[in-house]
Amino acid sequence: MKKINKIIFVIAAICLGMILLRGASFSQQAAGELFEKALYVEEGQGDLQKALGLYQDILKRFPESREVAAKAQLRIGFCYEKLGIKEAEKAFQQVIDNYPEQSGTVREAQEKLKTLARAQTPSEKNPVGLTLRKIWSGELDITARISPDAPRPGARRERRRGSPTRPGGRGTRRTTGSRAAARRPAPARGPLDGSRP
């Protein structure tokens, strides 16, 4: 009886372990999918505020997925930097402090901190230091129209000789003189009355 209980206990422990491992891999996969969605919103759609919310959601919901959480924290720093918010330095520093085992992500955060520090240090060329400002809000003006007198896309250019309605064109071919004389452009006329200048 004791042997059977031990066997049942061992089997139950193994099943429980497999369920926990599967749950962890599911959590890792869900965190990765949410990270990919946030990255698409940030880079594909350009909606930095929404992307920030998604990255912060990853940090709250999946703290055990250290690799994905470190990347999310790094992307938070990038979003803050693009928005011109000084919180970017803190976000990069949190990557270094909270995820030291993620060497590639930590290296990227250290490089960004060095770049920001160099940009903020007053120099001869930039005595004030780093100045951040938003230059584009992400909104597009789709009401623009093409000028009515602009050439049509794909339209052929007039031939060198002109068109049938212009002097020297196909419709008004000269019957006398050489071919070179037929190719010469017509003399210029005045603006309104047709007289020569």
Q: For 153-181, what is each residue's pLDDT tens digit?
A: 666 655 555 555 555 555 555 555 555 55
pLDDT of residue 125 exceeding 60: no
| Residue in the structure block whose two tokens are 């930590």 | 106
Q: Residue 106: which of 55, 82, 62, 71 has the closest Cα? A: 71
Domains of the chain: 2-120 (1.25.40.10)
Question: Are residues 138 and 47 in contact, defined by beta-carbon separation less than 8 angstroms?
Answer: yes
pLDDT of residue 77 exceeding 80: yes
Q: What is the model's pLDDT at position 148?
A: 66
Please report, to the nearest 10 degrees, the dihedral formed by the alpha carbons of residues 22, 23, 28, 30 taken in order. Answer: 120
pLDDT of residue 26 exceeding 50: no
What's the distance, CA 170 to chain centroid? 52
Mean pLDDT computed over 54-58: 93
Mean pLDDT computed over 41-66: 91
pTM, two decimal places:
0.50
Residue type, 172: T
| Residue in the structure block whose two tokens are 């959480």 | 69
Q: What is the model's pLDDT at position 111?
A: 93
State which of 12-21, 49-58, 84-93, 127-136 shows the largest mean pLDDT.
Answer: 49-58
